Amino acid sequence: MSSTAPAAYLPLIQQPPTSSNPSKQTPDLNQTESQSPPKKRSTERGLSIPPSLVWKTITHYRRWPHYLSTFAVFSTWSSLTTYTPSILLSLGWSRTSANALACVGGFLSLIVVFFFAWLSDRTNRRGATVIAAQVCYLVVLIVCRQVQQGKEMEELGRWSRWGLWTAVNAFAVGYHPVHNTWVQLNCRGEGERSVGIAMWVMSAITGLMAGTQFYRAGDGPFYEKGLLIQICMVSAGIFFAAMQIVIYVVHNRRVVAGKVKPGKDGEEPQVYVP
């Protein structure tokens, strides 16, 4: 029951953000596909992806920081969905009230998601928007842990403590859909995008499984050690996202300078969206 409500809107936040008026600088995925060879398009839409393309996508090392960042940051979400109702229960609410109040942060996260989706489309700074959302989440985690360690925590009422955990849950996934879009924009064709997103989803799921161990029974009821682990994981995710931007920017400059040769199949060097 504790994770039912957050899980209900998970399919919503997994969807990439869209815009009715996309930036002119943003690559149009539909237009990109329309320029692909007809034979290739029909093959991909038939879900027939050759093993060579799968291997090429898996070994595309320039894209791996995406997966490492997603694993690190998204791992922190599973502990929140599982233990937030228990934390609120320890503050004196009934089980039903605790479950209901725990859902508020999840619903507020939709507002956060749409804001960063709008910001990403508005600025076309895909990587910077992902990092901005992750930094906001990191700040809220740090504030939550510091306040709970201080003496002033004893003076706070349960509604103030609820506000802290609601803020943590509200910012816990704001980076996730825009990161999905960032990955897709840096894939060539439907086949590569399908494999790339599958790898991204698996890294997120692996992170969720690892994150179930962050909060331990002996650390309750407010899980200060667990929060510290989450702070470290989000910091690592920000590092990998920043690394991804650097990789893309450096590669693009080398392409402009003519230092990157076409691929073995004659493909022109890819220009990434940092």
pLDDT in tens, 188-230: 889 999 999 999 999 999 999 999 999 988 887 888 899 999 9
CB-based contact 133:70 (threshold 8 Å): no
Burial 20-54 (b: 16+ CB within 10 A, else e): eeeeeeeeebeeeeeeeeeeebeebeeeebeeebb
Record the pTM. 0.82
4 or 108, greater pLDDT: 108
pLDDT in tens, 228-274: 999 999 999 999 999 999 999 999 999 999 888 887 777 788 999 99
Q: Which fold has domain 68-256?
A: Growth Hormone; Chain: A; (1.20.1250)
pLDDT tier at 43, thresholds 50, 70, 90: very low
Three-class SS of residue 1? Answer: coil
